[in-house]
Chains A and B, each alone.
Chain A
Amino acid sequence: MSVQQVTLEPVARSRAMPAARRPVAGPSAVRGLRGFVLGKPLGAFGAVLILLFLVLAAGAQWLAPYPYDIGTAADRLQWPSLAHPFGTDANGRDLLSRVIWGARVSVTIGFGAVLISTVIACVVGIGSGYFGGWIDLLVQRVVDVWISFPALVLLVSLVAIVGPGLWSTTLVLGILLAPGTARVVRSAVLGMRHQPYVESARCVGAGHWRIVRRYVLPNVSAAILVLATTQLGAAILAESTLSFLGYGVPPPFPTWGAMLSGTGRAYMLQSPWLSIWPGLAISAAVFGFNMLGDALRDVLDPRLRGR
C-alpha cells in the first residue's frame, strides 16, 4: 500500500517552459502537444492510458456489455470466451463489465481525493508559509502529527468511523494525502515571501488575499499540478488496498481491490483469471498517472527531477 508522502525541496519559482524543442508549424497548443508527445513518449503513453480509463469510467453504462451486479448461475466461473472476454466470476457475473465499472470507482475516488487533498494542502501550506511566525510553528506541529501516522492504519480507522462508502473513502484519502503536498507548498511559499515582487505588491497596498491569488498561487501551481498527478496514482493504489482489506466501497458495487480480496481467493485456484484482470487494471492506471506525472515534472518543473 502506498500513500506516498512526498517531501520535496523548495521549488516552484520556475515558470512553465514550452515542451517543444524544435520549431513546428501550427497553433501553439498543437505545437506544445506535439512537442510533448515527441519529447516524452512514455508520458504521452501514460496520458493515453489515463484517457482510456476516463472514457471507461464516464461511459461504463454504455461500454460494459453486461450489468455489473447480475449474473446467471449457469455462467459461473467461465473461461474467457467471445461472449465473456475476461471470463466470469463465482456469481456468473461478466468480469469485463465489472472491471469497466471498477474504473468508475477508482477514477471518482482518485480525482475526488486529490482535489480535496490539494485544496487542504493549499490552504494549510500557503497559510503556514505566507504568514510564518507562530502560525507556521503551530501548523507545522499539526502537520508533523498528521505525517507521523502510518497511512493505512489511519485509513482503516477513519473509514471504520465514517462508515465505508464512495464519499467517505474519497474524503478520508483526501485528508490523508494532504500533508505531503502541504509541506511542499509551504516551503515554496516560504521562499517567495520576501521576493521583491511580493514586497512591491505589498507596497502598492495589495491585501493578503490579492497577493496570494495573483502572485503566490501562480508560482506554486506547477509544483501542485505535478504533485497532484503523482498523487492520483497513489490515491488509486490506496483505494484498491483499502477495498482489498474490506474497508472500501461496499459490494455489490465492483472495485478492483475488492475483486482480488479474500472471498474471491478460493475461486482463484480454479479460475486464475479472476486474480489477473483487476490487478492489471490497477497497475495500468497507476502506471499511467506515474508516467504522466514524471513527464509533467520534467516539462514544468525540472528542478524536481530525481526526487
Chain B
Amino acid sequence: MSRYLIRRLVLLVPTLLGVSIVVFVLVRLLPGDAVSLQLQDAKATAADEAALRAQLGLDRPVVLQYFDWLGNLLRGDLGHSFRSHQPITTELANRIPVTAELGVLALIIAAFLATIVGIISAVRQDTWADYTGRSVAIGLLAIPGFWLGTLVVTLPSVWWHWTPPLQYARLTVDPIKNLSIVIVPAVILGLGLSGGLMRLIRTQMLEVLRQDFIRTATAKGLTENATIVRHALKNAFIPALTVLGLQVALLVSGTVVLESIFVLPGMGRYLLEAVQSRDYPAIQGLNLLFATVIVLTNLVVDLLYGWLDPRVRYT
C-alpha cells in the first residue's frame, strides 16, 4: 500500500511538469502578445516596448523564462500579474474560495440528488417512478449548463420581474447574501453533474440488490430501508466514487461557464479575463492549479477506493 502510494506520488511529478511545460508554451503561442496588447492605447515607441518587455522578463530566451518560472514556483511564487501587478498567489487566494464554494456546493447537490433518485429508480425498477427518474437523468445529461443558466437569468425576469441577485458578497462578510447568490449557479452545476451519477448509482444498486447477501438481509427480517441503506447503498456507492473523481474535471469547466453568466469573481471568470488580456503568469498559474486539483482528486479517489473496498488490491 505504501509502495503504491509512493509510486503514485512519484508519477505525479512528471505529469505536473508536463502540464507546466505545455501551459508555458501554449501561452506564448497565443497571438497578440502581452506587451503589444498593453501598449496598444498609448503612443508607445519601440524603446518603450523593449523596456516593458525587459521589465516583464519577456526579453530573455523562452527556456530560461521557463526555468525562472519553475524555480520561483517551487518557492511558492507564481510571479506577478501583467495586468494588476499583484502577485498571482494573492489574485488566486482571493478567487479560490468563490470557485471552491461553488464547486463543493454543486458536488453536494449532485451527490444528494443522484443518490436519492438512483435508489428510488433501482428499488422501484420498471415503475413510473423509475421511468421518470431515468428520463430526468437523460435529460440532465443533454441540457447544457449555460443554457439553463441563461434561462434562469432571463425567464423569471420576464414572467415575474425577478432576477437572481448578481451583486456578489463574500461568504465571510455576508453569508446569507452570499449563499442566496451562489445557490442558483450551484444548483445548475449540480443538476448537470447529477445525470451521469444517477444512472450509475441506479445500475450499481440493481446489481447489488440481486446479490445473495441482500436476500439474506431481507430473510433475517430487516426492513427494506435498513437493507437498502446499510447493505446495498454502501456497496453501490463505491463505483460511483470513481466517477465523482472524473466529474471534478467537468466541474472545473462548469465553473468557468457559470461564473461568467452569474458574474461571480472566481477563478473561472479570471481565466477568461486572463486569456483575453494575455496575462501569461495568471493563465499559467490557473492552469497549473486546475490540473493539480484534478490529478490530486483522482489520486485521493483511487486511495479511498481501496480503503472502502478492501477487496481492491494495489499492485
* Interface contact A287-B139, CB-CB below 8 Å: yes
Closest to B295 in A: A148
Q: Mask for A233-268, Cβ within 8 A of B = 1, else 0?
A: 100010011001100000000000100100001001
* Interface contact B275-A141, CB-CB below 8 Å: no
Given A145-B22, A151-B249, A260–B30 Cβ distance below 8 Å?
A: no
| Contact for B249 among A150, A284, A290, CB less than 8 A | A150
Q: Which of B9-35 contact A (CB under 8 A)?
A: 11, 14-16, 18-19, 22, 26-27, 29-31
* Interface contact B154-A1, CB-CB below 8 Å: no
Task: Give the Cβ gap from B33 to chain A, nearest Cβ, in Å.
Answer: 12
Residues of B close to A2: CB separation below 8 A: 192, 250, 253-254
Task: Give the Cβ gap from B103 to chain A, nearest Cβ, in Å.
Answer: 12
Closest to A6 in B: B246
Stretch of A53-61, A79-87, A155-163, A202-210 at the chain-chain interface: A155-163
Main secondary structure of the interface of A (DSSP, over half): helix
Question: How many chain A residues touch B (Cβ–Cβ < 8 Å)?
Answer: 47
Given A283-B143, A287-B139, A160–B31 Cβ distance below 8 Å?
A: yes
Given A1-B254, A144-B18, A157-B275, A257–B146 Cβ distance below 8 Å?
A: yes
Q: Mask for A265-287, Cβ within 8 A of B = 1, else 0?
A: 10011001001001100111011
Closest to A268 in B: B154
* Interface contact A156-B272, CB-CB below 8 Å: yes
* Interface contact B139-A265, CB-CB below 8 Å: no
Residues of A close to B139: CB separation below 8 A: 283, 287
* Interface contact A151-B142, CB-CB below 8 Å: no
Task: Give the Cβ gap from A143 to chain B, nearest Cβ, in Å.
Answer: 10
Task: Give the Cβ gap from B282 to chain A, nearest Cβ, in Å.
Answer: 12
Stretch of B36-44, B54-62, B200-208, B226-234 at the chain-chain interface: B200-208
Task: Give the Cβ gap from A164 to chain B, nearest Cβ, in Å.
Answer: 11
* Interface contact B203-A306, CB-CB below 8 Å: yes
Q: Which of B195-253 contact A (CB under 8 A)?
A: 199-200, 203-204, 207, 242, 246, 249-250, 252-253
Given A265-B154, A275-B155, A306–B252 Cβ distance below 8 Å?
A: no
A291 interface contact, C-beta 8 A: yes
Closest to B147 in A: A279
| Contact for A157 among B27, B151, B207, CB less than 8 A | B27
Residues of B close to A161: CB separation below 8 A: 26, 29-31
Q: List 26 A-B contacts (CB under 8 A).
A: A1-B144, A7-B246, A142-B18, A144-B15, A148-B291, A150-B291, A151-B249, A152-B252, A152-B256, A153-B256, A156-B272, A157-B27, A157-B283, A158-B26, A161-B29, A244-B146, A245-B260, A269-B157, A272-B155, A272-B158, A275-B147, A275-B150, A283-B139, A287-B139, A287-B141, A290-B142
* Chain A residues within 8 Å of B, Cβ to Cβ: 1-5, 7, 141-142, 144-145, 148-153, 156-158, 160-161, 163, 233, 237, 240-241, 244-245, 257, 260, 265, 268-269, 272, 275, 278-279, 282-284, 286-287, 290-291, 305-307
